Amino acid sequence: MPEEILLRSILADRVRERLLEGILDGSYPPDSRIVETAVAKSLGTSQAPVREALRSLAALGVVEIVPFRGARVRRLQPEELLEAYVVRSDIEVLAVRLAVPRMSEEDIADLVKFGEKMQAAADAGDGRAVAQYDACFHERIVELSGNRTLLRVWRSLEPFARTYLMLVMPGSDPTWSAALHTPIIEAVRRQDVKDVRRAVERHFREVSDALAARLDGADADSASRSSKDPRQRPPSPDNTGTNAAIPAAGDRPTQGRRRRSSRETLQEGSP
């Protein structure tokens, strides 16, 4: 690979990370445009690596590129997050089966350190740091599997994984979040594959339940607000005049189909 192309690829990766951070911290909210020229100017680079970074984010599903209109941040749907979470949990269970027998004392020490850093951040009440060490901990396990395809697929879900954390962490106790990893670390110390697998499965089950509850709660709040807004109420059978309210989208007939709850979405992907 020519040096110029290699450097541009590395630069595009860095731009991608900066844009992803901006999406997750709210600098680029859902549906907002990402202007190539503005990004290139702010980062002191040309438009080429910015364009590559946007294509990469589009391939991951967090950005949408519309011809002649540019790029915008996609609004991720709860179902997408939950479906991706099911996939990620299965990936990590497989990674554990491959990684644990290969772990050296140094590898185990690395995972223990991530756990200690998570706990220290939790004690300090720093939920953001807990989330960062959480991601590092899980990525390290997948790396230790030695399966590059598995790692590549896991990393393709990174934006979704980090979005889960942003959704779950703000309303949760950082100490609870850090403590979820203790059973995994204890099983890793023993290098007991079955116990590590069970601990990982339990970890994902608890976090997915918390995420599902958060998303279902948000849906309930939204429905409650709509029911209190007279503009969102469907017309009564007696109200057929010109002042009848127009039904909201959520009040229209669905031909017998029911929207699945977040918990059903998760359970559908579980064995």
* In the chain, domain spans: 3-73, 78-213
3-73 maps to which CATH number?
1.10.10.10
The CA distance from 178 to 134, in Å, is 8
Which residue has better confidence, 184 or 60?
184
Angle between helices 78-99 and 127-144 (to 10 degrees): 50
The CA distance from 168 to 131, in Å, is 10
All residues at 6 or more sequence positions from 85 whose CB lies less than 8 Å from its CB, including other chains: 160, 161, 164, 204, 208, 211, 266
Q: Determine the Cα angle at 237 with ends 232 and 240, to 5°.
A: 80
pLDDT band at 167 (very low <50, low <70, confident <90, very high): low
Q: Which CATH architecture has domain 78-213?
A: Up-down Bundle (1.20)
CA 253 and chain centroid, separation: 32
Check if the beta carbon of residue 9 is closer than 8 Å to that of residue 53: no
Check if the beta carbon of residue 167 is closer than 8 Å to that of residue 215: yes
pLDDT band at 20 (very low <50, low <70, confident <90, very high): confident
Task: Identify the bridge partners of residue 70 per DSSP, sorted by sequence position.
Answer: 66
Please tell me which of 5-9, 49-53, 238-242, 255-259 the model is most confident about, judged by mean pLDDT. Answer: 49-53
Domain pair 3-73 / 78-213, same fold: no
Quick check: 39 pLDDT over 90?
yes
In the chain, what is the straight-line distance between the N-terminal and C-terminal CA atoms, in Å? Answer: 44
- Residue 70 sits at φ, ψ, to 5 deg, of 90, -160
Eight-class DSSP state of 232 = G
Check if the beta carbon of residue 36 is closer than 8 Å to that of residue 70: yes
pLDDT tens string 213-268: 776 765 565 556 555 555 544 444 444 333 332 233 333 334 444 445 545 545 55
Instruction: Average the pLDDT over each of 37-51, 144-158, 188-202, 248-262 and give the range with the smallest value.
Output: 248-262
